[in-house]
């Protein structure tokens, strides 16, 4: 049985990927310092009925070599999927040192431990933030990478580091550059639970549980089909599927490479609101505000490379993502029946 180490496996995307791995027959070791992930997620993962097993859920820090070396020594790890990172753009602007230490130095510690323990394959959770302001859309992998915030720069630094570690040490990597991730586990076992929550869809859905609170919409005068920003929302379970395909690509001798993960389509903010109202059956009060500085009009992925090389195809719609996210929000509040 192949064993995969999932760093950040108790986080939002990491937990969904852990379930997908076990469903595909992999054994999994989760490694998380719970600075942003949630210990309670580990309890949900224990109850997953699947072909593979959750062998261990280790609380440790990539900045502590003894922690990560211990995980490799205790378990025969065949490959790594690396999610452990800080990801709040605004916080990265106010405290860049925290991001360079955790994201860049932490990843270096992981790669060095992989070297010491003869593990040579890693799938890395990168981001479309490495591209910065779009020069054209849809954005393909040839688009210039000029990140505009420390969060995006730390992810790009890691991509460069992985190129160097491949050339020098033979560690093969796949970097998956996500666009906007949405949704929750279709069986309601795990979902999005950030504090603070900065993503559009969960914040819209949270507003439905607070009567009379208006949700702010920033900017309605963009050069888009309805004047609001366009974003590419990829379902979190589709995203987890992509990690399985990337892992198999490396298992089959694939070279170090990078892929965009998005739907090749975009939804405007108004369209997201309309879809949320349709799913919840509720009218969501909106207050129109001016544009926020630095918000591009359109961010949409060109996913052709992932489709052609990895064989990945997003299957779930925006409404699917909203429906599972809403079910998760209701479950967190003890509202288990259908709305």
Q: What does the CA dihedral 70, 74, 78, 83 come to, rounded to 10 degrees?
A: -50
**Distance between CA 12 and CA 9 in Å, rounded?**
8
For residue 221, count CB atoms less than 10 angstroms from its CB and return exposed for 0-12, middle for 13-18, buried for 19 or more: exposed
pLDDT at 89: 86
- Give the per-residue pLDDT at 213: 65
Q: What is the pLDDT of residues 84-109, one digit of tens each?
A: 999 888 899 999 999 999 999 999 99
131, 151, 178, 222: the active-site residue: 151
Q: Are 192 and 328 in contact (CB under 8 A)?
A: yes
Which pLDDT does position 38 carry in this prediction? 65
- Encoded tokens for 232: 């590419």
b/e 5-43 (16+ beta carbons within 10 angstroms → b): bbbbbbbbbbbbbbbbbbbbebbbbbbbbbebbbeebbe
Q: Is the peptide bond before 196 cis (omega within 30 degrees of 0)?
A: yes
- The per-residue pLDDT for 28 is 97
Q: What is the pLDDT of residues 3-57, one digit of tens each?
A: 999 999 999 999 999 999 999 999 999 999 987 766 667 777 877 878 889 999 9
**pTM for the complete prediction?**
0.93
- pLDDT of 26 reads 97
Structure confidence at residue 206 (pLDDT): 77
Instruction: State the alpha helices, DSSP H only, in the chain.
Output: 12-23, 39-46, 65-74, 89-94, 96-99, 106-116, 150-169, 200-207, 236-251, 269-280, 304-305, 318-332
Query: Which contacts of 161-169 are long-range, i.e. CB under 8 A and separated by 24 or more positions?
Result: 161/104, 161/107, 161/108, 161/111, 162/111, 162/122, 162/124, 162/256, 163/256, 165/111, 165/115, 166/256, 169/115
Q: Is 151 a catalytic residue?
A: yes
| CB 176 within 8 Å of CB 123 | yes
pLDDT of residue 14: 95
Low-confidence ranges of the chain (pLDDT < 70): 37-40, 194-198, 211-213, 336-339
CA–CA distance, 2 with 147 (Å, rounded to integer): 36
The rounded distance, in Å, linking the Cα atoms of 17 and 81 is 9
Q: What are the CA-CA distances from residue 151 to residues 90, 109, 252, 259, 277 (Å)?
A: 9, 18, 32, 19, 32
């Amino acid at each position: 049985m192949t064993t995969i180490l999932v760093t950040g496996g108790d986080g939002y995307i990491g937990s969904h990927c852990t379930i997908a791995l076990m469903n595909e027959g992999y054994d999994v070791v989760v490694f998380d310092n719970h600075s942003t992930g949630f210990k309670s997620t580990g309890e949900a993962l224990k109850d997953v009925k699947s072909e593979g097993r959750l062998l261990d859920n280790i609380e440790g820090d990539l900045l502590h070599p003894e922690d990560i070396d211990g995980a490799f020594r205790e378990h025969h790890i065949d490959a790594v999927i690396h999610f452990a990172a800080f990801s709040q753009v605004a916080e990265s602007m106010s405290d860049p040192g925290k991001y360079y230490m955790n994201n860049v130095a932490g990843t270096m510690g992981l790669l060095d431990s992989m070297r010491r323990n003869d593990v040579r394959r890693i799938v890395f959770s990168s981001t479309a933030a490495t591209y910065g302001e779009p020069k054209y859309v849809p954005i393909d992998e040839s688009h210039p990478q000029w990140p505009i915030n420390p969060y995006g720069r730390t992810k790009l630094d890691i991509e460069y580091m992985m190129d160097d570690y491949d050339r020098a040490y033979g560690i093969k990597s796949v970097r998956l550059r996500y666009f906007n991730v949405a949704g929750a586990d279709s069986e309601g076992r795990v979902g999005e639970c950030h504090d603070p929550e900065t993503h559009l869809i969960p914040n819209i859905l949270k507003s439905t549980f607070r009567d009379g609170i208006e949700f702010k919409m920033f900017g309605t005068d963009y050069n888009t089909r309805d004047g609001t920003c366009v974003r590419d929302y990829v379902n979190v379970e589709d995203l987890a599927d992509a990690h399985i395909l990337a892992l198999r690509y490396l298992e089959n001798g694939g070279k170090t490479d990078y892929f965009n993960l998005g739907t090749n389509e975009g939804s405007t903010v108004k369209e997201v609101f309309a879809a949320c109202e349709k799913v919840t059956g509720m009218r969501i009060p909106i207050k129109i505000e001016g544009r926020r500085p630095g918000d591009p009009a359109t961010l949409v992925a060109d996913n052709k490379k992932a489709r052609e090389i990895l064989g990945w195809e997003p299957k779930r719609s925006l409404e699917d993502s909203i429906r599972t996210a809403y079910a998760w929000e209701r479950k967190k509040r003890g509202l288990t029946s259908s709305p």
